[in-house]
């Protein structure tokens, strides 16, 4: 099931719970828990980098009109802080990372730690449980439905974890080297025994800029390690990566979905895809 982008409810659905997720991958996860009763809308378009999103006045209205807002948390939606302070008391915010322990931000810029916890599907089991509990609190009459849907989706997440592990096991440990645009896949690397040897932007935030010395150090690391590629989210600017690739001879892989799912007709239209 995919999260819906937006749209008004039909009269027959007027009494249904009004739910909006900030990011597209959270919208998809939430839709699997909500099932057919709720159409989960997503705030940030799939074409936009979530950490670079700037809400418009219309976006603020959308947020404040929903009974339930589902967010990642851990400072990932910094732009949302002021809006949350202005939300009415009858609105509910579900923080999907609640009760998960984050890794430190390597750059020290985010005191909350690295927010990219969905990069390990076992963490997403907690996302599902938090969404299930939040929807059940907002709509207790259907808590059994949300519980069944959550259980079914958790089974799929466990199957996904096993599939990833089987794929990774075909790759020797010494080949599991990752260079990325910014530090966004640490939880994936941790779970599946990869080593992140460097990032163009040594931060969990893509807004930062590397110094000339940091760029030079990364070029040396890549040359000395034998890392074969730089892996980038499909929405990230490739300019610095291409410069490093020219210096090192590595490949730049640009078709990875890290911070968003794809459009419905794309290759990653759901979190599991």
**Composition of the chain by helix, strand, coil, percent to 5:** 45, 15, 45
Q: Is a pLDDT exceeding 70 seen at residue 267?
A: yes
**pLDDT for the residue 183:** 86
**CB burial of residue 101 (10 Å; 0-12, 13-18, 19+):** exposed
- How many Å is the maximal CA-CA distance in the chain? 63
Compute the distance between CA of residue 173 and CA of residue 72 in angstroms, rounded to an integer. Answer: 31
In sign, the C-alpha dihedral spanning 194, 206, 73, 114 is positive
Q: How confident is the model at residue 15 (pLDDT cuts 50, 70, 90)?
A: low
| Residues of the chain above pLDDT 70, percent | 91
Residue 107 has pLDDT above 90, yes or no: no
Higher pLDDT, 88 or 143: 143
In the structure encoding, which two tokens stand for residue 33, read together?
A: 């828990």
Contact criterion met (CB below 8 Å) for 268 and 156: no
What DSSP string describes 133-180? HHHHHH-GGGHHHHHHHHHHHHHHHHHHHHHHHHHHTTS-GGG-EEEE
Q: What is the predicted pLDDT for the residue at 209?
A: 74
Question: How far is it, in rounded angstroms, from Cα 83 to Cα 60?
Answer: 7
Counts for the chain of helices (H) and strands (E), in that order: 8, 8
pLDDT bracket for residue 50 (50, 70, 90): confident
């Amino acid at each position: 099931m995919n999260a819906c982008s937006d749209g008004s409810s039909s009269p027959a659905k007027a009494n249904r719970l009004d739910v909006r997720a900030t990011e597209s991958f959270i919208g998809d996860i939430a839709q699997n828990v909500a099932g057919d009763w709720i159409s989960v809308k997503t705030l940030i378009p799939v074409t936009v980098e979530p950490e670079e999103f700037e809400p418009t006045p219309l976006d603020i209205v959308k947020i404040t009109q929903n009974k339930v807002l589902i967010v990642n948390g851990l400072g990932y939606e910094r732009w949302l802080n002021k809006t949350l302070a202005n939300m009415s008391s009858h609105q509910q915010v579900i923080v999907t990372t609640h009760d998960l322990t984050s890794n430190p931000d390597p750059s020290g810029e985010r005191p909350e730690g690295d927010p990219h916890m969905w990069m390990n599907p076992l963490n997403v089991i907690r996302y599902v449980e938090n969404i299930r509990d939040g929807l059940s609190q907002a709509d207790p009459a259907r808590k059994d439905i949300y519980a069944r849907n959550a259980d079914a989706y958790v089974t799929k997440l466990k199957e996904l974890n096993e599939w990833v592990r089987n794929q990774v096991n075909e790759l020797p440990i010494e080949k599991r080297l990752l260079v990325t645009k910014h530090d966004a896949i640490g939880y994936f690397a941790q779970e599946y025994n990869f080593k992140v040897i460097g990032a163009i932007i040594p931060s969990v935030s893509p807004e930062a800029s590397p110094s000339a010395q940091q760029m030079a150090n990364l070029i040396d690391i890549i040359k000395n390690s034998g890392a074969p590629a730089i892996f980038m989210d499909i929405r990230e600017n490739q300019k610095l990566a291409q410069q490093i690739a020219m210096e090192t001879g590595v490949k730049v892989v640009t078709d990875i979905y890290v911070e968003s799912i794809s459009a419905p007709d794309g290759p990653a239209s759901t979190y599991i895809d």
